[in-house]
Amino acid sequence: MMLVSNFFTIDIEKLDNKYYFENNFLLAQGIIFIAVKFIKTIAYHFFL
């Protein structure tokens, strides 16, 4: 019984980590997208 509950706990931790990393990845992608857009806008105004 203990082995099963331990396995279950580890599984839930793995799932939580996967969810956490996926969220961070999406957040990072959003930040990078905004930064690139911002830099492109500044470059556009600079060179025109």
Q: Which two tokens stand for residue 33?
A: 């997208």
Query: Does the pTM of the predicted model rise above 0.85?
Result: no
Q: Which two tokens stand for residue 27?
A: 């957040």
d(CA 10, CA 16): 10
d(CA 6, CA 11): 9
Element counts in the chain: helices (H) and strands (E): 1, 0
Please give the pLDDT value at position 15.
66
DSSP state of 4: H
**What's the pLDDT tens digit per position in 1-48?**
455 555 556 566 676 777 777 778 888 898 999 999 999 998 888 876
Cα 14 → chain centroid: 16
